[in-house]
A and B are shown apart, each in its own frame.
Chain A
């Protein structure tokens, strides 16, 4: 029964991780920007949701809308004012990475200064566990996060395979000129990728605020998870990032069967390391050499 409980908790956490990782992977796949400030978008969205709903007592749809707006604006801001100026003079991977890391540091500390460095969470009846079977406790939020994750992936897949801009987004990293032929502006498509990728982080941020709670350093953890899930799933594959996130969530919870909770990050790392050693291309990635 404990095992089943851990699997359910793992699926819930995995859904949140998958949502985060897919946003990162979408941005990376389309624009080749290693957007480690994705964790900052998560932090901003999660804290704004907490502040508007738990402190200002706004209704949750309003709070969620504000969180989405903030995340999207943050993504667009990063694309317009940080990544684009850097890529204009040199597109080196590390230059972009350092700038993104700098933003992550700024956001983490600003959030700590404004909202406090303590632990906060949004209390809701949704996160209260109900005993569905003897010894098995499930909160409605578990089902909600899994369903939301599935809906988001379905909509996203439809968008990427059936609409013009979606297809352009997939083509962007391969052949920007082709997008021009289609009558679309590559810079505009990159902005869409940042807007959508950042918006996808919001459900995960909200569910984390409702379940595990937040602190300003949550962005670093999100960053590790997004990177790990992207690599485990195969760089450039959205399906892979989603599966990678799910796998990490499950692994983290199943580890509790034998280990103390403080080792959960260690489990993420071990999974990541095993993949790097034995299957660097990930689940769905194409094998590649040294770039």
Chain B
């Protein structure tokens, strides 16, 4: 039971990293990316590649993953962010589909469908992280660091520019903000930090394959952010916990065939997304940090 809880806690903290970094662009910058799982994957594959070639130094592998993730996101963001939001949605969806193909086909690096096994345990400053409890400390530390970084960013002038662009791009532009550069920087930062989650994931499971980085994952991350509450610091963490506890909770229900649990989980968060958008667009956590709601006119 203890091992089960620790395992769940590690997975929650890794997914929370992904959700928090997605929220940075989705919630604060209003940039809608359906390609977040791609940067998760890039972080995981790059960290694994470095770990296998140069030794399993966690800091080095993670830094490499962040660098590659940042470069790829730059290639996506530079052209796609010059135009309207619909274009970025479409471009990121396309890039996500393309990434699945690349992850599956580039067998020499990604191991194809079979994936990569026997990833060595992470080493930090000579200390080998093998016990799950130690790994939990590591992943929680990363999560806290990333939340602090994002908190600092959001409260800086950069963060205020982002929110200004989200709320009215033309007005921000008229005030002399370089909209394209600010948005691109946000995407690059978010993707690089997301890659940390990928690196942790690879070292924790010591096995990765393309299944973890598909469109379904991107959608699930989106659901975590939206259900928890966009543009809040802890909303995405709440959303992550809810969504990851759901299958565990469902497995206690009788008469539910185990093969259908994945489907029921997805239906549940799909439904949650629709209902929240109709009744509570700020998300579950949204009431605390939400700016005053727009007064609706007569129906």
Cβ contact within 8 Å between B263 and A276? no
Q: How far is the CA of A98 from the CA of B283 in the complex (A)?
A: 12
Cβ contact within 8 Å between B277 and A93? no
User: Interface residue tally of chain A, by bracket?
Assistant: 35 or more
Cβ contact within 8 Å between A86 and B83? no
Mask of A95-109 contacts with B, CB within 8 angstroms, 1/0: 111110111111011
Cβ contact within 8 Å between A99 and B273? yes
Q: How far is the CA of A96 from the CA of B260 in the complex (A)?
A: 28
Residues of B within 8 A of A108 (CB): 266
Cβ contact within 8 Å between A90 and B294? yes
**Nearest residue in A to B266 (C-beta to C-beta)?**
A109
**Counting CB contacts under 8 A, is B281 at the interface?**
yes
Interface residues of B in 253-283 (CB under 8 A from A): 260, 263-264, 266-267, 269-274, 277-278, 281
**Counting CB contacts under 8 A, is A231 at the interface?**
yes
Known contacts being A273-B79, A290-B169, is A227 close to B270, with CB within 8 Å?
Answer: no
B98's contact among A105, A113, A269, by CB below 8 Å, is which?
A269
In the complex, number of A-B residue pairs with CB atoms less than 8 Å apart:
137
Cβ contact within 8 Å between A224 and B294? no
Cβ contact within 8 Å between B278 and A231? no
Residues of A within 8 A of B222 (CB): 98, 101
User: Interface residue tally of chain B, by bracket?
Assistant: 35 or more
Chain A CB within 10 Å — which of B79, B272, B296 has the most? B79
Residues of A within 8 A of B85 (CB): 93-94
- In the complex, besides A89-B296, A106-B270, 20 extra interface pairs with C-beta distance below 8 angstroms are A86-B281, A88-B296, A92-B281, A99-B277, A102-B274, A103-B274, A105-B273, A106-B266, A112-B263, A220-B97, A231-B86, A231-B87, A235-B86, A265-B101, A266-B98, A272-B90, A273-B79, A276-B80, A276-B90, A290-B83
Q: Which residues of A contact B (CB under 8 A)?
A: 34, 82, 85-86, 88-90, 92-99, 101-106, 108-110, 112-113, 220-221, 223-224, 227-228, 231, 235, 260, 262-263, 265-266, 268-269, 272-273, 276-277, 280, 288, 290-291
Could you give 21 example pairs across A and B, Cβ below 8 Å?
A34-B86, A82-B274, A94-B30, A101-B222, A101-B273, A102-B270, A109-B266, A224-B93, A231-B86, A260-B105, A265-B97, A266-B97, A266-B98, A268-B97, A269-B95, A269-B97, A273-B94, A276-B87, A276-B90, A290-B83, A290-B179
